[in-house]
Every structure is written in structure tokens, then in C-alpha cells.
Amino acid sequence: MNVRLPWVVAGAFVLAVILSVLIFGGKNTATEDIRAAYLPGGEFTLSHGGERFDMRGLRGAPYILYFGFTHCPDVCPLGLATIRDALQQDEALSDVKALFVSVDPERDTAERVASYAAFFHPNILGKTGTKEEITKLAKAYGTYFMAGAKDANGGYSVDHTAYYYLLDRDGELVRVLDHNVTALTIAEELQKLL
């Protein structure tokens, strides 16, 4: 029997561990979520209607970031209801917050977006900012939005991508969840970040 073989195997294992730490150590979830690893993410400041909001204020607990607008007929109400259900899955998530950022600052005043989001759940904070701020934030998270043409009454829709972005307690983007995931899946992912 070759007595050296176990040592070669053990050595290869240690080397593999060191290499994976070196490669993935910067973002510990890179292996789990390639989109979260690829997107820049980051924390931004939003100002709207004399109000100033700094995302860094949410540090200390994981949170969900979600983009939309209050006139959205279907996607956003469904998304916010799913977030509400996720936060209600477990007592441990009772302090977790969600940030609903409106991509329609023309119609969504700070008050309007705040009360709209809170209608779904008190932990969902509705915010918006200047067009420039929102564009920068959305780009960092890989969210697209584009306002459509106005109808005769001045009404319009806003096309937008819909993802649930999960940020950890340090404000680092760690998961990008598709819109069709269940509230339970979101809750389970949040629990891992507590």
C-alpha cells in the first residue's frame, strides 16, 4: 500500500481550500449567486422632496431592495405582497426591512411612495430620488426602466425589470432573486443572512 497517497490527497484538499478562499474570499457568496457577484451593487443616497435617504442607515440587518412605481398595475403590487408575505414567514424576520425605490419620480412624491409601500407592510420603506440618482442606483443593480409615451390624460406606464435584491448586514449585494420566487424562498434566503 502506498502510504504517501493520503498525504497527497490531504495536500490537494488544503490547496483547493486555500485557492477557493483566494478566489472567492472577496465575496463569500460568489459561488452561490453569480448575478450578485457580477453586479456592482453598493449603497446610495436618494434625495426627493427635501428628504434625504442614505441606504447605509439600513446596515446591521439584511434587507430587500426592490424597484418599481406606485402606478404599476400588476408586477409591483404582486412583488410587494410577496415581500410582505416573506417578512411574515418568521418572527425572526420581524425587524428585516425592504426598500421600495420608485423609478417614477415624476409622479411618485416622497409621501406617495412611502405610504404606498407601508400599505403592504410597515417594514417596507418607499423611497425615490432624482432621476440621476435612481438611474445610477438602478444601473448598479442591473435594473432597467423606461417610461412609456403619455396618453391623452397624461398617464403613462414605466417598463421595468423586477428582481428581489438581497443585501446582507454590511450592505453587500448577496442574492438576486427572480420575480417568480415564493415568499418562502425569500424568507429562507433572508434567514441565512441574519
Q: Does 76 bind Ni ion (CB under 5 A)?
A: yes
Q: Which one, 78 or 92, has the nearer CB to Ni ion?
A: 78
Q: Does 103 bind Ni ion (CB under 5 A)?
A: no
Strand-strand pairing, 145-147 and 124-127: unpaired
Q: Which one, 26 or 73, has the nearer CB to Ni ion?
A: 73
Q: Does 72 bind Ni ion (CB under 5 A)?
A: yes
Region of 65-73, 94-102, 106-114, 165-173 interacting with Ni ion (CB under 5 A): 65-73
92 within 8 A of 50, measured Cβ to Cβ: no
Q: Does 80 bind Ni ion (CB under 5 A)?
A: no
Q: Does 39 bind Ni ion (CB under 5 A)?
A: no
Q: What is the 3-state secondary structure (H, E, C) of the chain?
A: CCCCHHHHHHHHHHHHHHHHHHHHCCCCCCCCCHHHHHCCCCCCEEEECCEEEEHHHHCCCCEEEEEECCCCCCHHHHHHHHHHHHHCCCHHHCCCEEEEEECCCCCCCHHHHHHHHHHHCCCEEEECCCHHHHHHHHHHCCCCEEECCCCCCCCCCEEECCEEEEECCCCCEEEEEECCCCHHHHHHHHHHHC
Q: Which one, 69 or 174, has the nearer CB to Ni ion?
A: 69
Q: How far is the CB of 51 from Ni ion (least distance, A)?
A: 22
Q: Which one, 30 or 75, has the nearer CB to Ni ion?
A: 75
Q: How far is the CB of 73 from Ni ion (least distance, A)?
A: 8
Q: Does 147 bind Ni ion (CB under 5 A)?
A: no
Q: How far is the CB of 72 from Ni ion (least distance, A)?
A: 3
From 24, 35, 49, 75, residue interacting with Ni ion (rule: CB under 5 A): 75
Residues near Ni ion, by CB under 5 A: 68, 72, 75-76
